[in-house]
């Protein structure tokens, strides 16, 4: 059949029809957007968010304002059904102020099923902030398509103590890495039209120790152990340590990423609960950093209506306890809180909603069908591949299919979706186990057997009869309870994994251990195994990502964002109850700024694997360091046989500004993940700003650069720094290395 052009009058009608349809759609969506705000004076998008917030505020009754300070919908909230939002705040229908919906969290929305991301600890291990942007985009996109306006993430608390139950939820022990990741995560999330909520402000570093042994067991109810419970603990921490270690990532989230909301934490800081802590919320967050968004209380973290109102808490999500209407009314009537204070809180909430476009768009629909699941799966696989960290390799990896007859996969985590508990727990849309992925990658000619490892002797026999053994071992971390020790048996969720690894490695030295842990664990068998990979909690694409790393399709991109100690007693908070879990409610941050590798370096303790460490399948040479003004440049060359990744790390040793002011031996102040083909080199350029050379000057309450000689070191990890230069500041003379 010959296809002829349609007659011109038909074409004209067709195009006019199309135009009319487009116009209708445009008007309809415009109407939807306008309809959401209505046709009130505050709906004029030419006005500033402040002006719009003031206009709407002026139209609200006192009861309506009070209602906006507390969440609603007890059953739709966190206690609701499997697809419930984590929180809701009914708006004010009278003035067309819509309901706001809230959802957890840092590994994906906790609302039905979702794409389960690798744990943030694994994301931090990529040392690639662009991947944090991607992670934030994926999580927020799904939160949006589940009908939410705000996502309770990222978690950015520093890992002060590797026992911490929420270590997996955040970015490790270094504030610089933390800040870089948090900023991009928030930018990614907010690029989706969802408001991020950086948490938990501040120094929320322990859940509580539970000597009964039940804490932290999978499925155990949330609720901190009795000692050092997160709900009551009082962190006694000096100002300099706060500023240098526990706050920089929050500061970056506010100043660089313009995060819309901040979640104040359960714990007390220096005698005041975080959600009523004037120093934190008003002096630092609002006045010093210029935060214009609103502060949300963690669930059950607001205790005292008057203090919450007067010291900077804007919204209590669920269930409003401190911000029950009658409590607020009482505070106003008794004159213990003023109208201006009430207005201030409402204004901040409204201003944020205006500033982030909440009124000027249609409401988000809760419908999983909108989620681009395959694209998200690809994105999270890429993140996981880049976060898997190779800690040891005795010429065993990557595996070469042609040289293998059989692989014994051992340990039940090889067949399970391994992750942590609490509000970071996500039910994945789909999941391919490492065992299935290894079978696929090995191909038909390699026999892949599986043993759950329940009996170490049987597993060892299996390993002996195979060309290679791959043992999977995991831990379980959760919000609500700290781990009681750092071995793989704490809590005993997967049996005696240390004995299993010892037996298998004794039977076959060609044993690869794959750890799926949220944070550091003890590795007493490390020198007896052929290879060791840390996959963290790898998310729903962990299986395929691991298989690609094991078989060398990709180079393991990860580097440690935390120190792996040799012994539990080596950690910064070990051996002193005052430091952890505390005496009474008080936990004394006696280690000061010596957190993480800063502690190990200062005390000259050799870790099992240092901060920043991770191997590649190729080798890199670092050379030609040059420091000019604020710019540090150096050359990185791939001198191995294949394409690979290195993370170039820059550390600064700040001279002590005065007697008694302890400076860590070195601090990370720059990094760059570099991918190079074999034989190729590149010149890496990193910037050192004034803050990189500064300490917190307590006497003057400001950042200051001390006079003296600063050592700049560059290399592959905190303990492998081949390049050095010295720079002088404040007129110091630093000899010929200057």
What minimum distance in Å lies between the beta carbon of 534 and ligand BGC? 25
Nearer to ligand BGC, 105 or 657 (CB): 105
Name the E strands within 287-379.
294-297, 315-316
Residues whose CB is less than 8 angstroms from the CB of residue 482 and which lie 6 or more positions away in sequence, other chains included: 161, 163, 164, 165, 206, 207, 208, 209, 210, 215, 216, 225, 228, 581
Least separation in angstroms between residue 104's CB and ligand BGC is 5
Nearer to ligand BGC, 152 or 696 (CB): 152
Do residues 452 and 495 lie in contact, with contact meaning Cβ atoms separated by under 8 Å?
no
**Closest CB 473 distance from ligand BGC, rounded Å:** 27
Instruction: Considering the complex, state which of residue 150 and residue 532 has its C-beta at the smaller distance from ligand BGC.
Output: 150
- At closest approach, how far in Å is the CB of 150 from ligand BGC? 10
Element (H, E) at 377: helix 373-387
Contacts with ligand BGC by CB under 6 A lie at 78, 86, 104-105, 152, 199, 298-299, 423, 479
Write the DSSP symbol of residue 655. P
Cβ proximity to ligand BGC, 177 vs 265, nearer residue:
265
Contacts of 125 (CB under 8 A, 6+ apart): 172, 387, 388, 389, 534, 536, 558, 559, 560, 561, 614
- In the complex, what is the shortest distance from the CB of residue 480 to ligand BGC, in angstroms, rounded to a whole number? 8
Q: How far is the CB of 117 from ligand BGC (least distance, A)?
A: 16
Token representation of residue 576:
């002193």
Active site residue 298: yes
Cα separation, 246 vs 198, whole angstroms: 13
Catalytic residue among 72, 149, 298, 482: 298
Q: How far is the CB of 77 from ligand BGC (least distance, A)?
A: 9
User: Rounded to whole angstroms, how far apart are CA atoms 103 and 28?
Assistant: 28
Least separation in angstroms between residue 302's CB and ligand BGC is: 12
* Shortest distance (Å) from residue 303 CB to ligand BGC: 15
Min CB(169)–ligand BGC separation in Å: 8
> Which residues, in sequence order, are CB contacts of 298 under 8 Å at separation 6+?
199, 200, 263, 264, 265, 266, 274, 275
Non-local CB neighbours of 262 within 8 Å, separated by 6+ positions: 197, 198, 199, 201, 250, 253, 254, 285, 291, 293, 294, 295, 296
Which tokens hold the place of 246?
């526990």
Going by their DSSP bridges, the two strands 100-104 and 87-89 should be labelled as antiparallel
Dig out the tokens for 55 from the structure. Answer: 């206009």
Contact 198, 186 (CB under 8 A): yes
CB 237 within 8 A of CB 591: no
Contacts of 55-58 spanning 24+ positions with Cβ under 8 A: 56/95, 56/97, 56/350, 57/343, 57/346, 57/347, 57/350
Residue 335, sorted as left (phi over 0), alpha (psi -120 to 50) or beta, turns out to be left
Between 41 and 226, whose beta carbon lies closer to ligand BGC? 226
Nearer to ligand BGC, 104 or 489 (CB): 104
Residues 6+ apart with CB under 8 A from 502: 456, 525, 528
For ligand BGC, give the closer residue by CB, 86 or 229: 86
Taking the least distance from each CB to ligand BGC, the nearer of 298 and 663 is: 298
Question: Could you tell me which residues come within 8 angstroms of residue 423 by beta carbon, excluding any fewer than 6 positions away?
Answer: 86, 104, 105, 110, 152, 479
3-class DSSP state for residue 355?
Answer: helix
Q: If you search the block for the tokens 């939410």, which residue do you land on? A: 148
Contact 488, 521 (CB under 8 A): yes
Of 299 and 622, which has the nearer Cβ to ligand BGC? 299
- Burial readout 586-616 (b: 16 or more C-beta within 10 A, e: otherwise): ebbbebbbbbbbbbbbbeebebbbbbbbbbb
| Smallest separation (angstroms) from ligand BGC to the CB of 158 | 15
- Report the distance separating Cα 267 and Cα 38, nearest Å: 41
Closest CA to 422 of 137, 201, 199: 199
Q: Which residues are designated catalytic?
A: 298
């Amino acid at each position: 059949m010959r296809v002829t052009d349609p007659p011109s009058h038909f074409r004209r009608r067709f195009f006019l029809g199309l135009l009319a349809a487009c116009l209708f759609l445009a008007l309809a969506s415009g109407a939807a957007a306008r309809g959401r705000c209505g046709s009130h004076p505050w709906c004029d998008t030419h006005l500033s968010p402040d002006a719009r917030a003031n206009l709407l505020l002026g139209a609200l009754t006192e009861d309506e304002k009070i209602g906006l300070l507390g969440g609603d919908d007890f059953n739709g909230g966190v206690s609701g059904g499997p697809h419930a939002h984590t929180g809701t705040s009914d708006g004010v229908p009278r003035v067309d102020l819509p309901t706001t919906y809230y959802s957890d969290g840092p590994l994906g929305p906790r609302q039905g099923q979702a794409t389960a991301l690798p744990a943030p600890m694994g994301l931090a291990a990529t040392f690639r902030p662009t991947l944090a942007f991607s992670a934030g985009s994926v999580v927020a996109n799904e939160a949006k398509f589940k009908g939410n306006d705000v996502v309770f993430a990222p978690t950015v608390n520093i890992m002060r103590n590797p026992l911490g139950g929420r270590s997996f939820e955040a970015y490790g022990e270094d504030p610089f890495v933390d800040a870089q990741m948090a900023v991009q995560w928030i930018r990614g999330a907010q690029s989706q039209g969802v408001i991020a909520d950086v948490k938990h402000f501040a120094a929320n570093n322990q859940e509580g120790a539970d000597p009964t042994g039940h804490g932290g067991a999978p499925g155990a109810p949330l609720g901190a152990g009795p000692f050092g419970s997160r709900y009551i603990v009082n962190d006694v921490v000096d100002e300099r340590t706060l500023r240098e270690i526990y706050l920089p990532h929050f500061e970056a989230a506010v100043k660089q990423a313009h995060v819309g909301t901040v979640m104040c934490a359960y714990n007390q800081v220096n005698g005041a609960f975080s959600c009523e802590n004037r120093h934190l919320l008003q002096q630092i967050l609002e006045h010093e950093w210029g935060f214009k968004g609103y502060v949300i209380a963690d669930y059950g973290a607001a205790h005292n209506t008057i203090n919450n109102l007067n010291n900077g808490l804007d919204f209590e999500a669920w269930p409003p306890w401190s911000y029950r209407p009658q409590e607020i009314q009482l505070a106003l009537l008794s004159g213990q809180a003023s109208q201006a204070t009430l207005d201030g809180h409402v204004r901040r909430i409204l201003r944020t909603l205006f500033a982030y476009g909440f009124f000027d768009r249609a409401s988000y629909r809760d419908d999983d069908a909108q989620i681009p699941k395959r694209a998200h799966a690809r994105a999270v696989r890429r993140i996981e591949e880049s976060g898997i960290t190779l800690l040891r390799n005795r010429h065993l990896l990557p595996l070469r299919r042609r040289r293998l007859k059989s692989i014994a996969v051992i340990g039940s985590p090889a067949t399970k979706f391994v992750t942590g508990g609490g509000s970071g727990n996500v039910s994945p849309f789909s999941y391919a186990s490492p065992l299935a992925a290894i079978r696929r990658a090995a191909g038909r000619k390699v026999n892949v057997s599986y043993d759950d490892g329940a009996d170490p002797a049987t597993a060892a026999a299996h390993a002996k009869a195979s060309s290679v053994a791959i043992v999977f071992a995991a831990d379980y971390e959760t919000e609500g309870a700290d781990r009681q020790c750092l071995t793989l048996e704490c809590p005993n969720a997967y049996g005696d994994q240390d004995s299993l690894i010892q037996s298998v490695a004794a039977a076959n030295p060609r044993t690869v251990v794959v750890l799926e842990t949220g944070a550091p664990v003890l590795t007493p068998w490390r020198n007896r195994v052929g290879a060791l990979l840390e996959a963290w909690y790898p998310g729903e694409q962990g299986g395929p990502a691991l298989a690609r790393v094991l078989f060398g399709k990709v180079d393991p991109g990860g580097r440690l964002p935390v120190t792996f100690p040799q012994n539990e007693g080596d950690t910064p908070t070990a051996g002193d109850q005052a430091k952890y879990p505390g005496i009474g409610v008080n936990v004394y941050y006696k280690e000061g700024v010596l957190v993480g590798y800063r502690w190990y370096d200062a005390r000259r303790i050799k870790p099992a694997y240092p901060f920043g460490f991770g191997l590649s399948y190729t080798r890199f040479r670092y050379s030609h360091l040059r420091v000019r003004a604020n710019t540090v440049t150096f050359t990185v060359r791939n001198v191995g046989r294949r394409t690979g990744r290195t993370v170039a790390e820059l550390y600064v040793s700040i001279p002590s500004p005065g007697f008694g002011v302890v400076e860590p031996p070195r601090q990370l102040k720059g990094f760059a993940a570099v991918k190079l083909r074999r034989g190729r080199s590149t010149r890496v350029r990193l910037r050192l700003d004034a803050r990189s050379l500064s300490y917190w000057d307590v006497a003057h309450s400001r950042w200051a650069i001390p006079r003296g000689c600063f050592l700049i070191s560059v290399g592959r990890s905190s303990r492998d720094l081949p390049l050095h230069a010295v720079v002088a500041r404040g007129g110091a003379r630093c000899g010929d290395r200057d």
